Amino acid sequence: MPLSDGAVTAGGTEASPVQLAKFHAPEVVFGTGSLAELGHCALRVGGRRPFLVTDPGLIEAGWVDEAVGHLRQVGLRPVVWHELTPNPKDHEVEAGFQRYAESGSDVIVALGGGSCIDAAKGVAILASNGGRILDFEGVDLVGLPIPPTVMVPSTSGTGADVSQFAVITDTAEQVKITIISRTLVPEISLIDPRLLTTMPDWLNAATGLDALTHAIESFVSRAHNPLTDTLALHAVQLITGHLRGTQTRPKEVSPRLAMAQGSLEAGMAFTNAILGATHAMSHQVGGLLDAPHGVVNGVLLPHVIRFNAAALPDRFVALASAAGLATDGVPPEEAALALAERVRTLADDVGVPKGLASLGVAEADLPRLARTTLKDACLATNPRDAGAQDIEALFRAAL
């Protein structure tokens, strides 16, 4: 079913007819102090013995005690599981499922960053589908509905709390696998910007750049549509305007609210439009070296923007404008290059390394990284076709 004639895109130009697009989104509870609603959220989706997935950092920060208190206040009996590490591993997810099954839990609640949320989704997949978590790599391979999920993000960037994605590390092959399924969209995402104030600076920078990558890649994705375009452009505006402020004024409310909203909007954009080469490449570096995902994105994104813009520069004009750059009368190629520089400058400002070598990537790793990138589902929606030589050249430029 095409759009009606005269439809207008987020960039302000008339849209060509496109086929009707699905748009997946959870219920969203957003605002300062909203963690107090956690118990009621878990009750609404049928919880009696919620399985709370979190990590030691959130326990130390005090957020887990507060969350458990809200769950108990409405008569629930939560089980807390926190035995996972950043970039959740296949064996950790399977251990989490065993604990879930033994405890007689029902609803799954995740409180934490993308690693906690992805691990919670992995536990939920195994709870209803059985098998090994690596068996579900790819698109729409989760055959049975999963238990209800309530996600409480503690970072402003991953978008996992609203997405149909889960990314898990295959420890044997040292790669990250991507699971994409409508069943993984949570029932409820509960976003309380207070939780963002206890992130360390490096994590704040990494997740903020991850959200910016979500917004930019979803806007230029082959699968974009007018709904995702609007969200992506506004997310770029919020993130480029406020990420630096969360580093310099970490306890101030306004930048945190803006980043929480930017992360949310970028997450809803990318889960519906999918992503591109930056994420396809970043997953491989993360799988090989257990490197912070958002940091790798921050290094790679400017290079991928230049690569894509060399063939398709027009889509980057609206993005450059959203990032605060002058675009009137500027050739699209120049606007795209300016956007790449804007991203790199922001990465510099928040302390992200300039090259992958500082993260441990070596020249000898590049052929393997390029080869595994070609298998990543995110590459399918990159706006420009990329073969192994292209990907290897991008990795080399980013060293």
Which structure tokens are listed for 34? 């909203």
Indicate whether 276 and 391 sit together in one domain.
yes
For the chain, what percent of residues have pLDDT higher than 90?
94
pTM exceeds 0.85:
yes
Rounded CA separation 152/111 (Å): 5
Mean pLDDT of 182-208: 96
67: domain range? Answer: 31-195
Given a cut of 50, is residue 8 above it in pLDDT?
no
Q: Where are the strands (E) in the chain, listed by range? A: 27-30, 51-53, 79-81, 108-112, 138-139, 149-153, 165-170, 175-180, 188-191
Residue 131 CA, distance from chain mean position:
25
Tens of pLDDT, residues 37-76: 999 999 999 999 999 999 999 999 999 999 999 999 999 9
Do the Cβ atoms of 42 and 67 come closer than 8 Å? no
Q: What is the pLDDT of residues 106-157, one digit of tens each?
A: 999 999 999 999 999 999 999 999 999 999 999 999 999 999 999 999 999 9
Q: Check pLDDT > 80 for residue 14.
A: no
Last residue of a domain, one of 154, 175, 195: 195
Together in a domain, 147 and 218: no
- At how many degrees (to 10) do helices 332-349 and 315-322 cross? 40
pLDDT by residue (tens digit) across 313-343? 999 999 999 999 999 999 999 999 999 999 9
Rounded to whole angstroms, the Cα distance separating 211 from 358 reads: 22
288/146 same-domain check = no
**Count of the separate structural domains present in the chain:** 2
Q: Are residues 283 and 190 in the same domain?
A: no
pLDDT (mean) for 211-226 = 97
According to the model, what pLDDT value does residue 363 have? 97
Residue 24 forms part of a structural domain:
no
Among candidate residues 180, 343, 398, the one with its CA nearest the CA of residue 275: 180
Q: How far is residue 361's CA from residue 31's CA, in Å, rounded to a whole number?
A: 39
- Final residue of a domain: which of 195, 226, 254? 195
Q: Specify whether 220 is located in the same domain as 303.
A: yes
How confident is the model at residue 22, as a pLDDT?
80
Within a domain: 344: yes
Same domain, 168 and 218: no
Indicate if 341 and 388 belong to the same structural domain: yes
Assigned domain for 5 exists? no
Q: Of the residues 162, 195, 228, which one is the last residue of a structural domain?
A: 195
